[in-house]
């Protein structure tokens, strides 16, 4: 059980989203999941604004790149742009109080962490308890880099998701990362199978949930953490895991256990709205690219 003072201090922490405090810190601390993943800066307070600031900082370089026609100069410009984006990320994100808050609370809770660079302006923060988990993550991140290098070498002229995120279409990789993040095996299997077959998992999960809601009698605890897509809205393994998380939080920190029901309800609502949310993100990306032309 956490001390009341530490729970109070964490509750008052403004540099970490409440959902991240529970899903990605306390559920790992409680042993309900071996590891969590937080995408930075997207899942930080003010993360959207940070992303916009970085976009504006590198926009002139992006515009110059789009107009460059010489292949050799274009390659050099891309390398230079990546460095500039990484520097912007350091200034805007890594120097922020929110970033430091995540680092501080990993240490305060006696947890371990590993950062993985996804893009020059995107990082993943993995939080875990056991040293062995860190070793598994290190191996997975190396495998992801090899998958990406292979995808770039074999890329067709059209830049698709299979080039940008090839690990999302590699079943063994997906199954291992899903197990480390503590998702039920049946849900991990369904996710990997759908991704490899080209099925949009987010749309599938949203349609399943809409259909199930019409039948009624759904347990929201199936959606026990954010951005988790169960094999079914009635998955018994996910439901049991969610109920177990509630029990662990009841024992660990009552202040956060009282928040948890509203969080799982929000997780379910987010899955329901995934097609809409993805469309909004894609529209913003297109608008940004349009401004660089």
Q: CA-to-CA distance for 40 and 284, rounded, in angstroms? A: 18
Residue 181 or 286, more confident: 181
Sheet holding 112-119, edge to edge: 35-40, 122-128, 112-119
CB 257 within 8 A of CB 249: yes
Model confidence pLDDT, tens digit, residues 220-274:
999 999 999 999 999 999 999 999 999 999 999 999 999 999 999 999 999 999 8
Residue 1 or 185, more confident: 185
Model confidence pLDDT, tens digit, residues 73-126:
767 767 778 889 999 999 999 999 999 999 999 999 999 999 999 999 999 999
Q: Within 10 Å of residue 151's Cβ, how many Cβ atoms? A: 18
CB 44 within 8 A of CB 285: no
- What pLDDT shows up at residue 177? 98
Distance of CA 113 to the CA centre of its chain: 15
Q: Within 10 Å of residue 185's Cβ, how many Cβ atoms? A: 12
Q: CA-to-CA distance for 23 and 269, rounded, in angstroms? A: 16
pTM of the shown model: 0.90
Q: CA-to-CA distance for 127 and 133, rounded, in angstroms? A: 9
Q: CA-to-CA distance for 250 and 38, rounded, in angstroms? A: 23
Nearest residue to 130 via CA among 262, 35, 267, 6: 35
- What pLDDT shows up at residue 80? 79
Distances (CA, A) of 72 to 76, 107, 150: 6, 46, 21
- What pLDDT shows up at residue 72? 72
- What pLDDT shows up at residue 162? 74
Model confidence pLDDT, tens digit, residues 125-175:
999 999 999 999 999 999 999 999 998 888 765 556 677 789 999 999 999
Average pLDDT for 201-216: 94
**Two structure tokens written together for 262:** 């509203």
- What pLDDT shows up at residue 75? 75
Q: Is 175 helix (H, G, I), strand (E, B) or coil?
A: helix
- What pLDDT shows up at residue 161? 61
118 phi and psi angles, rounded to 5 deg: -95, -45
Q: CA-to-CA distance for 241 and 225, rounded, in angstroms? A: 10
Model confidence pLDDT, tens digit, residues 4-24:
999 999 999 999 999 999 999
């Amino acid at each position: 059980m956490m001390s009341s003072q530490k729970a109070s201090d964490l509750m008052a922490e403004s540099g970490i989203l409440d959902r991240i405090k529970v899903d990605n810190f306390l559920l790992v601390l409680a042993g309900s999941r071996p590891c969590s993943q937080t995408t930075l800066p997207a899942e930080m307070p003010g993360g959207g604004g940070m992303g916009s600031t970085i976009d504006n900082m590198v926009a002139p370089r992006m515009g110059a790149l789009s107009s460059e026609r010489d292949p050799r100069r274009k390659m050099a410009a891309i390398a230079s742009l990546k460095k500039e984006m990484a520097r912007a990320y350091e200034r805007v994100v890594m120097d922020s109080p929110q970033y430091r808050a995540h680092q501080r609370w990993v240490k305060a809770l006696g947890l371990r962490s590993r950062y993985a660079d996804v893009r020059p302006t995107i990082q993943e923060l993995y939080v875990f308890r056991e040293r062995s988990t860190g070793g598994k993550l290190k191996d997975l991140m190396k495998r992801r880099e090899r998958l990406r290098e292979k995808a770039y070498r074999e890329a067709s002229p059209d830049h698709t998701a299979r080039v940008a995120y090839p690990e999302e279409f590699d079943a063994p990789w997906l199954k291992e990362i899903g197990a480390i993040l503590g998702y039920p095996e049946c849900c991990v299997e369904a996710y990997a199978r759908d991704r490899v077959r080209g099925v949009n998992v987010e749309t599938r999960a949203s349609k399943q949930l809409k259909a199930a809601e019409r039948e009624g009698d759904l347990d929201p605890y199936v959606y026990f953490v954010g951005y988790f897509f169960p094999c079914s809205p009635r998955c018994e393994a996910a439901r049991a895991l969610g109920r177990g998380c509630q029990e662990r939080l009841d024992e660990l920190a009552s202040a956060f256990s009282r928040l948890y029901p509203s969080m799982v309800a929000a997780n379910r609502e987010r899955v329901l709205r995934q097609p809409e949310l993805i469309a909004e993100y894609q529209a913003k990306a297109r608008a940004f690219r349009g401004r660089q032309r």
